[in-house]
Structure 1
Amino acid sequence: MVMTAIGFDTLSASKRLREAGMDQPVAEAIVELVQQTTMLPDISDLATKSELAATRADLQTTKAELKADLKNEIALVRADMALMESRLRVDLSEKIRLQGWAILGGVAVLMTISTALIKLIP
């Protein structure tokens, strides 16, 4: 984060503390601490209320567009699923019909064999 300094005369402050009887390292440490507390964060890059309002409006528009797109996608998926279900029903119906014919054929063969066996066995 970039900090902006408020005007603070560190040399004068350090000199005054030394004149008041402080050792130089202590005076310099105090001046450094005071200087750090006078640093303000640079807020020039922060968004203004109007920029935030514009961004909020853009987000609302984007949200509405995404919602509409999602509804369309869901409708397409549902249509695909309905078509797939229809195809599966047709396939299943055809397989059941073929199995029915196979069973009837098997029954006919068994009846023919049993009739032949009845005639052959006295």
Structure 2
Amino acid sequence: MKNYISLNIKHLCEKNFLSQDEFGLLFNLKKGVVGTYVREIAVPKLETLQKISIHFGLTIDDFVNRPLSDVSNIANEPKPSYGYENEMLKLKDEVINLQKNEIERLKEKIEMLSKSNDSKTA
């Protein structure tokens, strides 16, 4: 089955102005290893494919199965949904506001009791 790993590594090196050795350093690969990928002598391990994909914001599927030089072939992944986190932040803000209101109410009560106590002792 055809893969585009070698072509895509070349493309990423050119696009990011990296030599093969510099590209390899990004992923802790020994000198010359990237050249074996580019010449299709070897194929990166899955862990390396994951690191490359994450670093460049790609899916592994796109990196392996599509030529990155053809931008129209790259599927845009949906943006992550932060609905739950946003709801929790709103609830946190509501709790904080309620606590602030309670603090103000208690301050007023303390002041009122303090004045009442002062008038009784005078």
Pick the TM interval, shorter chain: 0.3 to 0.5
Tell me which protein shows more helix as a share of its residues: 1
Q: TM-score, normalised by structure 1?
A: 0.42
